[in-house]
Amino acid sequence: MNARSRCLAVSVMLAVGSTGLGLEVARANINLELRPVYQVGCVGYTVGVGLYAVSDDPSASQTLSAMDVIIAWDPNYIQLLGNVDPGEPVWFVSTFIIPDAYGLNENNPPQDGDGIYTALAQPGEVVDATPEGTLITTFQFDVLAESDGVPVEILATAGDPEGHTRVFSGDGPNIEVTGTLSGAVVAGFLVVCPGDFNEDGTISLADLAILLAHYGTDVGASPLEGDMDCDGDVDLADLAQLLALYNTDCP
Ligand SMILES: [Ca+2]
Ligand SMILES: [Ca+2]
Ligand SMILES: [Ca+2]
Ligand SMILES: [Ca+2]
C-alpha cells in the first residue's frame, strides 16, 4: 500500500468509525500559536514572536515531522529580520525557502508582509508537540513605527497558486494534523526621553522609584516601567542606564 492509499484507508476507517458507532472519532490535532499574544517593542529595537506547536490533547503530546506556516504582518510597522531556533529541537530545515511554490517568499526573509516558513525534522526523527506548547522557532521583527498594536497572523491559506499552513504528523507519511491557528499583536512604543518614565521632562527620583518598583520583572515590562533597553525585563542593565542619566533633563 503506498502512502496515498494508506492515507485514504485511514480516512475511510475514520469515516466509518464515526458514522457506524456514532462516536466522535477524530485524530488529535496540533495547534499553531504565536506568543507572546501581546507585547510592546520600542521603535528601533527588535522583538521576538515565538511559533509554538501545541497538542490539542491536554493529556498527551503528539509528534510532528514537518510544517509549512504562512505568516502575515504589516510591513509599515514591523520588519521581519528572520528566525532564530531554540537549541532543542534541532531542525533539519527551519527557514523561508526561496523560491517557494506559492510566490510568498520573494526574499529570505520576506519583506512585503507575508511569507511561508518551513520546518522539517531531522531525517527519521519526529518532534513532540506538548500540550503546553513546543517552541518551534522565534520570528525576529524590527519595530519600525509607533502603534497601538499591529497583528502578526498565521494564515490558513495565501499565495498564487494557493499555499496552505499545514502540520504533518510524525506518526506516518502525509498525515495532516493542522489544528487551530492563532496570532499575536506587537505594539510599537517610541521612546522620546529614555529614563523619563513619568514623562515630566526630567530623569529624577520619581523615575528611579518607578524602575525599582518593577525591578526583577522578567518579561512584559513596558518602556515606561523601567525597561530602558527594551528587552522586556527590568534588571541591572536597565538600572545602570538610568543611573547614567540620573538628574538630567530630557534633550
Ligand atoms: Ca511575500
Ligand atoms: Ca521623570
Ligand atoms: Ca530591560
Ligand atoms: Ca535585560
115 CA to centre of ligand 1 in angstroms: 5
Asked if residue 211 and residue 180 are part of one domain, the reply reads no
Q: What is the mean pLDDT of the segment spanning 89-96?
A: 98
244 CA to centre of ligand 3 in angstroms: 15
Domain annotation covers residue 132: yes
pTM listed for this prediction? 0.84
Domain annotation covers residue 81: yes
Q: What is the mean pLDDT of the segment spanning 220-230?
A: 92
pLDDT of residue 27: 64
pLDDT of residue 1: 45
Closest-approaching ligand to the CA atom of 113: 1
SS (H, E, C) 141-164: EEECCCEEEEEEEEECEECCCCEE
68 CA to centre of ligand 2 in angstroms: 47
164 CA to centre of ligand 4 in angstroms: 37
d(CA 97, CA 3): 25
Q: Which of 224, 190, 219, 191 is nearest to 207 (CA)?
A: 224
pLDDT of residue 215: 98
Q: Which of 86, 75, 84 is nearest to 117 (CA)?
A: 84
pLDDT of 97 over the 70 cut: yes
pLDDT of residue 222: 87
Which of 164, 189, 214 corresponds to the end of one domain? 189
Which of 138, 158, 189 corresponds to the end of one domain? 189
d(CA 29, CA 178): 6
162 CA to centre of ligand 3 in angstroms: 41
Asked if residue 70 and residue 143 are part of one domain, the reply reads yes
Domain annotation covers residue 175: yes
Asked if residue 164 and residue 213 are part of one domain, the reply reads no
d(CA 132, CA 1): 36
pLDDT averaged over the chain? 91
Asked if residue 60 and residue 177 are part of one domain, the reply reads yes
Asked if residue 168 and residue 57 are part of one domain, the reply reads yes
Q: What is the mean pLDDT of the segment spanning 77-89?
A: 97
Which of 168, 189, 210 corresponds to the end of one domain? 189
pLDDT of residue 188: 94
d(CA 197, CA 13): 62
Asked if residue 223 and residue 157 are part of one domain, the reply reads no
By CB atoms closer than 10 A (0-12, 13-18, 19+), residue 42 is buried
Compute the chain's Rg from CA coordinates. 22
Closest-approaching ligand to the CA atom of 233: 3
Q: What is the mean pLDDT of the segment spanning 229-240?
A: 95
Asked if residue 214 and residue 179 are part of one domain, the reply reads no
Domain annotation covers residue 197: no
Closest-approaching ligand to the CA atom of 232: 3
Asked if residue 154 and residue 67 are part of one domain, the reply reads yes
Asked if residue 98 and residue 220 are part of one domain, the reply reads no
Angle at 80 between CA 53 and CA 157, to 5 degrees: 55
Q: What is the mean pLDDT of the segment spanning 15-42?
A: 72
> Quick count: other Cβ atoms within 10 Å of Cβ 49?
25
pLDDT of residue 28: 87
Asked if residue 128 and residue 33 are part of one domain, the reply reads yes
Type of residue found at 156: A
Asked if residue 228 and residue 122 are part of one domain, the reply reads no
Domain annotation covers residue 160: yes
Q: What is the CATH number of the domain that holds 175?
A: 2.60.40.680
214 CA to centre of ligand 3 in angstroms: 11
What is the C-alpha end-to-end distance of the chain, expressed in Å? Answer: 73
Q: Total domain count for the chain?
A: 2
d(CA 28, CA 57): 6
Q: Which of 170, 154, 66 is nearest to 116 (CA)?
A: 154
Domain annotation covers residue 231: yes
pLDDT of 106 over the 50 cut: yes
Domain annotation covers residue 2: no
pLDDT of 206 over the 50 cut: yes
Measured in whole angstroms, the distance separating CA 22 from the mean position of its chain's CA atoms is: 38
pLDDT digits over 11-27, tens only?
A: 444 444 344 444 444 56
> What grid cell was written down for 12?
475511510
> Quick count: other Cβ atoms within 10 Å of Cβ 35?
18
pLDDT above 90 coverage of the chain, percent: 84
pLDDT above 70 coverage of the chain, percent: 89
Lowest-confidence segment of 8-22, 151-165, 178-192, 214-228 by average pLDDT: 8-22
pLDDT of residue 220: 85
Closest-approaching ligand to the CA atom of 238: 3
pLDDT digits over 114-172, tens only?
A: 999 999 999 999 999 999 999 999 999 999 999 999 999 999 999 999 999 999 999 99
d(CA 111, CA 73): 10
Q: What is the mean pLDDT of the segment spanning 44-57?
A: 96
Asked if residue 212 and residue 170 are part of one domain, the reply reads no
Q: What is the mean pLDDT of the segment spanning 76-84?
A: 98
Domain annotation covers residue 22: no
pLDDT of residue 26: 53
Segments forming the whole domain that contains residue 158: 27-189
d(CA 111, CA 245): 36
43 CA to centre of ligand 4 in angstroms: 17
**Please, are residues 34 and 51 in contact by the beta-carbon 8 Å criterion?**
yes
